[in-house]
């Protein structure tokens, strides 16, 4: 079941379609915005005068603070990425509350490690369900809203693992490479209705996904990276914000790799 | 006007006409047997736009679970898909020939009422 969190004041029934639709401020929907890159994207879009909706499995200090400080233009709901019906409901809830959806960022994802032959089947299924199927469903429902608007932008957060093979992340790589395929085909499908679709493929950046790495692993990655370090989270967010902006108005169907040159 | 199985045809025809008008084309008299693509020139993206629009207007999406969009070829196919969404016992849930016959009868009745 979808629940609102973070101390937001109004009951769900108070969000009439007309209530917020009066404003012309654009709307960004970022999946997985409770922490990490998602939270950086929420912050970035709010700073650019977007109204922002995000969902995550659980709330966080960040979503609670945004719900208090930016109640009028921030929306959070608890949605499990494996719950297809609630993913659909969430997008419709956002469209009802804010009246439109200009940008969708498919950011929510789970990492999985371990060589494929010894991975549990349910862990493989979860990676595909959360990283790929949830993104497809969010894109499908958001695209309907964008079709009615006659404009929109979808950005899928991929990974350098989609581009280069790395041992121990086969299922994760498969899910991210599939997102890049989705990006290209969806760009062709929706382009005639002025909806752009792109991917951002980050390399290693400071996030929960690399917290488990040893210092030695981090140093090895830094040595292999032409720019000599891991990315700051804002550097990845900035690439997404660029693709979402009018500055990127003629870019669609592309994967922008943000990895300090790791894969060049 | 509240959508009902009897007047659903006018909603669907209205949206098809609107799409054709947006393209600056002369809007023909629509016949139920008109093929969406071959006769009217609607692309699959036009159909997606149409379905999105009708979902917003009618509050239902028969293509989410009830009907496959690939089975929709004609204007009547599209109208029937929306009627199914408004008549709860009509749809793939029908388990035998009697149910199937009842579905067809319901659809014919709804069509006649609308004429």
Structure tokens at A48: 């650019």
Give the pLDDT of residue A128.
97
* Residues B20-72 pLDDT 10s: 998 887 877 899 999 999 999 999 999 999 999 999 988 889 998 888 999 99
Q: Given CB atoms, is A192 within the 8 Å cutoff of chain B? A: yes
- Residue contact A147–B52, C-beta within 8 A: yes
- Mean pLDDT over all residues of chain A? 90
| Residue B38 CA: distances (Å) to CA of A184, B50, B52 | 27, 17, 21
Distance CA B3, CA B13 (A): 13
Is it the case that residue A13 has pLDDT exceeding 50? Answer: no
Give the pLDDT of residue A16.
38
Nearest chain A Cα distance for residue B108, angstroms: 31
Nearest chain A Cα distance for residue B22, angstroms: 12
Give the pLDDT of residue A5.
33
Single out the residue of A132, B114, B50 nearest to residue B62, CA to CA: B50
Q: How many domains does chain B have?
A: 1
* Residues A43-99 pLDDT 10s: 999 999 999 999 999 999 999 999 999 999 999 999 999 999 999 999 999 999 999
Is it the case that residue A11 has pLDDT exceeding 60? Answer: no
B contacts of A145 (beta carbons < 8 Å) = 52
Taking residues A96-114, report their average pLDDT: 94
Among A50, A90, A172, A205, which one carries the catalytic annotation? A172
Give every CB contact of residue A262 below 8 A, 6+ residues apart in sequence. A160, A203, A204, A221, A224, A225, A226
- Mean pLDDT over all residues of chain B? 82
- Residue contact A144–B55, C-beta within 8 A: yes
A contacts of B56 (beta carbons < 8 Å) = 148
Torsions phi, psi for B67 (to 5 deg): -130, 145
B3 — pLDDT class (breaks 50, 70, 90):
confident
DSSP B20: H
- Residue contact B52–A193, C-beta within 8 A: no
Taking residues B75-80, report their average pLDDT: 94
Distance CA A131, CA A82 (A): 9
CB A198 within 8 A of CB A187: yes
- Residue contact B49–A190, C-beta within 8 A: no
* Residues A209-218 pLDDT 10s: 677 788 898 8
Give the pLDDT of residue A9.
30
A contacts of B62 (beta carbons < 8 Å) = none
Q: What's CA B76's distance to the chain center, in Å?
A: 6
Distance CA A17, CA B14 (A): 23
Distance CA B7, CA B97 (A): 27
ipTM: 0.76
Domain that holds residue B57: 5-113
Distance CA A46, CA A70 (A): 9
Give every CB contact of residue A58 below 8 A, 6+ residues apart in sequence. A34, A78
Give the pLDDT of residue B113.
66
- Residue contact B45–A193, C-beta within 8 A: yes
Residues paired with residue A53 on neighbouring β-strands, in sequence order = A29, A75
Give me the sign of the Cα torsion angle A48, A49, A53, A56.
positive
Give the pLDDT of residue A33.
97
Chain B residues touching chain A at CB-CB below 8 Å = 45, 48-49, 51-53, 55-56
Q: Assess whether A172 carries a catalytic annotation.
A: yes
């Amino acid at each position: 079941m979808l629940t609102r969190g973070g101390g937001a004041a109004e009951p769900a029934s108070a969000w009439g379609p007309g209530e917020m639709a009066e404003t012309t401020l654009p709307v960004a929907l970022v999946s997985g915005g409770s922490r990490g890159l998602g939270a950086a994207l929420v912050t970035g879009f709010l700073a650019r005068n977007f109204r922002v909706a995000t969902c995550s499995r659980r709330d966080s200090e960040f979503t609670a603070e945004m719900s208090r400080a930016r109640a009028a233009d921030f929306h959070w709901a608890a949605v499990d990425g494996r719950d297809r019906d609630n993913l659909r409901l969430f997008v419709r809830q956002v469209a009802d509350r804010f009246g439109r959806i200009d940008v969708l960022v498919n950011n929510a994802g789970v990492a999985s490690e371990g060589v494929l032959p010894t991975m549990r089947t349910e862990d493989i299924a979860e990676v595909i369900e959360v990283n790929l199927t949830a993104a497809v469903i969010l894109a499908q429902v958001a695209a309907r809203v964008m079709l009615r608007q006659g404009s929109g932008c979808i950005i899928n957060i991929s990974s350098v693992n989609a581009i280069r093979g790395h041992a121990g992340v086969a299922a994760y790589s498969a899910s991210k490479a599939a997102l890049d395929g989705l990006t290209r085909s969806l760009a062709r499908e929706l382009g005639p209705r002025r909806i752009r679709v792109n991917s951002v493929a980050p390399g290693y950046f400071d996030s929960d996904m690399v917290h488990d790495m040893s210092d030695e692993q981090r140093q090895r990655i830094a040595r292999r990276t032409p720019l000599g370090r891991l990315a700051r989270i804002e550097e990845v967010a900035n690439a997404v914000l660029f693709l979402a902006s009018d500055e990127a108005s003629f870019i669609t169907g592309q994967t922008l790799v943000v990895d300090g040159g790791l894969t060049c | 006007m509240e959508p009902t199985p009897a007047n659903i045809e006018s909603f669907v025809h209205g949206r098809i006409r609107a799409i054709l008008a947006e393209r600056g084309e002369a809007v023909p008299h629509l016949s139920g047997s008109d093929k969406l693509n071959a006769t009217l020139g609607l692309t699959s993206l036009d159909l997606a736009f149409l379905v999105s629009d009708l979902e917003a207007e009618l509050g239902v999406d028969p293509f989410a679970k009830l009907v496959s969009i690939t089975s929709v070829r004609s204007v009547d196919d599209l109208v029937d898909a929306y009627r199914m969404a408004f008549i709860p016992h009509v749809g793939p849930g029908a388990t035998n020939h009697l149910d199937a016959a009842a579905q067809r009868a319901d659809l014919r009745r709804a069509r006649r009422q609308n004429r």
